[in-house]
């Protein structure tokens, strides 16, 4: 298993931020979205926020394939409906590629790699 870390910004609007958080509460997130995440080999996912910046941590299975997940998401009407809803709240980072939402972050430090 390994961890992946991604970042994204929200629109700077307190009402939209509150609504985004509403949709991510356990009782409000669509069950088929959770299922699509798990089916892709994502074993754990957490999203953190400071201001408008979001950081998502994903623990993924060894055979996790981000490109396969993207293809499955593109083919799923339900995932596309969720993504369309979320786009109301999200804005790309200034260095994002065209059409890119979540941007992978580069790990620059790992305590486990430091000798005692």
Read off the pLDDT of each residue in 10-33 and give the average, rounded to a whole number.
98
CATH number of the domain bearing residue 62: 3.30.70.100
Q: pLDDT, tens digit, for every residue of 59-110?
A: 999 999 999 999 999 999 999 999 999 999 999 999 999 989 999 999 999 9
Distance CA 34, CA 12 (A): 26
The count of domains in the chain is: 1
* Percent residues over pLDDT 70 in the chain: 100
Q: What is the pLDDT of residue 99?
A: 86
Distance CA 92, CA 99 (A): 8
68 in a structural domain = yes
Q: What is the pLDDT of residue 1?
A: 79
64 in a structural domain = yes
26 in a structural domain = yes
Q: What are the beta bridge partners of residue 47?
A: 56
Q: What is the pLDDT of residue 61?
A: 93
pLDDT at residue 116 tops 90: no
67 in a structural domain = yes
Question: Quick one: pLDDT band at residue 115, thresholds 50, 70, 90?
Answer: confident
- The radius of gyration of the chain from alpha carbons, rounded to an integer in Å, stands at 15
112 in a structural domain = no
Residue 75 has a CB neighbour count (10 Å cut-off) of 9
104 in a structural domain = no
11: domain range? 2-90
98 in a structural domain = no
11 in a structural domain = yes
């Amino acid at each position: 298993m390994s961890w992946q870390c991604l970042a994204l910004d929200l629109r700077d609007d307190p009402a939209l931020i509150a609504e985004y958080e509403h949709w991510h509460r356990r009782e409000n997130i669509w069950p088929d979205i959770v299922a699509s995440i798990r089916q892709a080999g994502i074993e754990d996912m957490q999203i953190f926020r400071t201001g408008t910046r979001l950081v998502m941590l994903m623990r993924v299975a060894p055979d996790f394939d981000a490109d396969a997940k993207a293809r499955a998401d593109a083919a799923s009407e339900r995932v596309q409906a969720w993504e369309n809803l979320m786009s109301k709240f999200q804005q790309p980072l200034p260095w994002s590629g065209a059409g890119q939402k979540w941007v992978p972050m580069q790990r620059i430090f790992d305590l486990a790699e430091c000798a005692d």
